[in-house]
Amino acid sequence: MKEFLSEKGSIYIHLDWRMNSYVRLLLDEILGFDNFQREIIWDISVLSGFKSLANNWIRGHDTILFYSKDTNNIIFNKQTTEHREEYIKRFNKADKDGRKYFDGRGVKRYLDEVLEKGKPIGDVWNDIMSFQQIPTAVERLPYPTQKPELLLDRIISASSNEDSLVVDFFCGSGTTCAVAEKLNRRWIGVDLGRYAIHTTRKRILEIANSKDLNDTSKKYGKPARPFEILNLGKYERQFWQVKAFNRKDEKQALYEYLAFILKLYGAEPIAGSSHIHGKKGNALVYVGAVDSPVTIQEVNDAMHDCKEMGQKELHILGWEWEMGMNDTIKDVAKQGGIKLLPITIPMDVLEPEAARKGDVRFFELAYFKVDTETDNKDLKIKLEDFVVPHTDLIPQEVKDSIKKWKDWVDYWAVDFDFKNDTFNNTWTSYRTRQDRKLNFTAKHTYEKTGTYKVLVKIIDIFGIDTSQLYEIKIK
């Protein structure tokens, strides 16, 4: 994090008593002892319930360590809070013009000035409730280490300015990103968990519909700006390319890559074809490239070789997929008498322990069906079906709660003018804890006639994306 930090920047780390001293020593070494600014005590006292049974002093606080990149060149906007009622009562005298004041050590302090400036906030914070204290809070999702928005509001307001960049490398439920957005800061959120990213995405989108958000959100009331979700996994996958470059033996590196993926999939390598790499039972297997999506042309080539070899089942393994491929290519394969299964290579293959234990699971792409209807410049898209193929790997209690296909869908969005680059949420519908309903019909009116690419993206209840591309003619 230090490498990315601005010269005026700060780092805040939230810890409990177990890791506090260890991490502080590391920070002294990495950021410098002189750049330690404050140890903030966050009072989260709950002196009742199970915690109160401990035969010890009842733990009532967490620690937030505050470090800067440069001691003498730091962004810090002093934060204040309202004065307590008992302090305000001290202003019990008045001038001839009625201005109330408090005479302290021979100096007049006027109430209106004191109220305007507010009370400076110290390094003990006992005015922000934790979710332990208010477990039914509207914003609670819950994530194990989720912070209240008020806590992040204070930190971000103090140590950044409007348009500053705020980064959370463990964004979880997205509190930092959401508060940074509301405070008009730029932000980056990072997480290994697919569901964490999906939760954060919905949280940012919800800023635009703040009817049920808490007081912190209502304070701003401005819709979220456009944002992108980027998958950096392909850079990890380039391990094989780096290996090939270092050894100057691309063929050997490619062979090792294919053998590795085929072994995890339970398939045997076979030779003699440019577009068939292995065999699993009666099915032939094609493995997509390390750093690019599987294209329709690649699948067509693999199907051609499959026919030439007299086989009728083909499995395509890919990290990513050309938009709209699943819907289009399956129909083509069926017409050619081939059973085609597009299967995603999971990121788990990059985890050595998971690969060693055989815990890697390959999933077939989900399938959905939409109906499109045009009327002059109006387009209506209706979601009519969604199929999750890997139901055998889903816990029984989840399957028991699914009554119809619609229950698998958590979120869906449409880009009505897709430009083959960034997906833009022109229309979206998603479930929240307060509102479990989804709108299954999307409508859009075009300004001009012409042919448009429409990209539909669906995210299931596990946070897995499926996209399909459609070509629409507006006459």
Q: Which residue has better confidence, 110 or 346? A: 110
Q: Which residue has better confidence, 404 or 107? A: 404
389 confidence band (pLDDT: 50, 70, 90): confident
| Angle between helical axes of 250-265 and 239-247 (0-180°, round to 10) | 150
Q: What is the distance between the alpha carbons of residues 98 and 118, in angstroms, rounded to a whole number?
A: 21
How is 415-443 classified by DSSP, letter by letter?
A: ETT--SSS---SEEEE--SS------EEE
Q: What is the reported pLDDT for 137?
A: 79
217 confidence band (pLDDT: 50, 70, 90): very low
213 confidence band (pLDDT: 50, 70, 90): very low
Residue bearing tokens 């780096």 = 242
Please tell me whether the peptide bond between 142 and the residue prior to it is cis, using omega within 30 degrees of 0: yes
Closest CA to 8 of 86, 79, 73, 59: 73
Copy the structure tokens of residue 246: 């270092």
pLDDT digit string, tens, across residues 261-306: 999 999 999 988 889 999 999 999 999 988 778 888 899 899 999 9
Residue bearing tokens 């410049």 = 377
Domains and their CATH numbers in the chain: 2-78+124-218 (3.40.50.150), 80-120 (no CATH), 234-363 (3.40.1350), 366-474 (2.60.40.10)
The three-class DSSP label of residue 155 is: helix
Torsion over CA of 270, 273, 274 and 276, rounded to 10 degrees? -50
* Residue 143 pLDDT greater than 80, yes or no: no
For 8, 13, 413, 428, 442, the CA distances from 378, given in Å and listed in that order, are 51, 51, 17, 17, 11
Alpha helices in 266-389, H assignment, sequence order: 296-308, 325-335, 352-357
pLDDT digit string, tens, across residues 405-433: 999 999 999 999 988 777 788 899 998 87
pTM attached to this predicted model:
0.72
In this prediction, residues 369-384 reach a mean pLDDT of 95
